[in-house]
Amino acid sequence: MKLRCDLTLPASKSESNRALMIAAYGGFAPVFQNLSDSHDTKVLMKALKGLPFIDSCRRTIQPWNDIKGKPQVVDITDCGTAARFLTTYLACHEGHWLLTGTERMCQRPMASLVVVLRKLGAAIQYVEKEGFLPLQIDGKSLVGGKVDIDMTQSSQFASSLLLAAPIWPKGMEMELIGELSSLPYLEMTLAIMRHFGAEIEQKGRLIKVFPKPYQSRSYTIGADWSAASYWYEMAALSEECEIRLRGLSLSTLQGDIVILDWMRQLGVGTFIENDAIVLRKIPYEKRPLHFDFSQHPDLYPTLAATCAVLGIKATFDGLDNLSLKESNRVEAMQTELAKLGNRPVHFCAHNDHRIVMALAPLSILVGPVGFDYPEVVEKSYPNYWKDASFLTFYR
């Protein structure tokens, strides 16, 4: 297939969600350009609209008054970022909360964050299974202090605490322990915090956040490099292509820009032309490759699908945390890629947006493919099927 496309990629939900939390902690209305329209960001926005916030003088306003002792239910559906970020947010706001989500979300770990918040004085109880949602949270003022946080399972635990730290009277001194997984997302958190006036010192695994309130400032959210990865995959699978992607920045805070280098090894060149990044085919040597996903877990489905269908032998490392995502992504991709010999090919979405968006481009080489739940792409890329309308799929 010869591909010629010109499109604007969706805004980063990771940047959007962090900026929204900062505005909530800072007590000011968001002044953002290019806010994500993803399901994840919409869920977080909806939750924040019904919750109290702290103004620049650290006063809690719009407190929740429970009715007949019943907590306010905050349902974050299947949004892992919202679950982790709101746990800290609710813990340091007066009120009674029940934080819950979908069945899958209630299987994703929360213990590392809850342990630290309890040490800081938070009142959090597990409603069902120890270490997982739902959580009963009795919010109250927290003052911050010294903590250590295990990064092995997710960087979101550390980001959740860091985002709150500027509004705590003692700020926070944090030591990162365990394996430093998904570190680029933590660096993104710190960079956006600094943009809004947070004072931060960082030395190796030690991070100190001073008690200095956020300042209201405008902020432009960049296009999503994770979303770009599916277009790199399409380029790799095409015979010839000129895919023009608008909105991406080479000076991004997003670690998934590494896809630019990884896909060069699979015959996709990246060219800067005016206000766009253009993908074209380049010569490459078909040889065994190695990829480490410990810092870039969202790229695993893309590379797994691309290498499988091109017959590229590749070694994948850093897969431990992929079982903790919207699906067990390693098992899901193994199951679905094993179907490629079938005609027709009908894939299971595993309720995972990245599984679907990584498998759909395979129709370029294998013909029409089916999905049981194609709408799941709305979680991060609502216009995916519109942008990639040339792909052939069925339900």
**Active-site residue, from 78, 224, 298, 387:** 298
Amino acid residing at 86:
L
Give ∠ CA 18-21-26 in degrees, rounded to 5.
Answer: 125
3-state helix, strand and coil shares in percent for the chain, rounded to the nearest 5: 40, 25, 40
Q: Is the distance from CB of 364 to CB of 387 less than 8 angstroms?
A: no
Any catalytic annotation for residue 298? yes
User: Smallest Cα–Cα separation from 206: which of 142, 149, 121, 143?
Assistant: 149
Secondary element (H or E) of residue 243: strand 240-246
- 110's CB contacts (< 8 A; 6+ apart) are 83, 84, 87, 131, 132, 133, 135
Both tokens assigned to 210: 């001073």
Spatial distance between the Cα atoms of 105 and 326, rounded to a whole number of angstroms: 8
Amino acid residing at 336:
E
Euclidean distance between the first and the last CA atom of the chain, given in angstroms as a whole number: 23
Q: What is the DSSP string of 261-279?
A: HHHHTTTEEEEEETTEEEE
134 phi and psi, to 5 degrees?
Answer: -75, 155
Residues with active-site annotation: 298
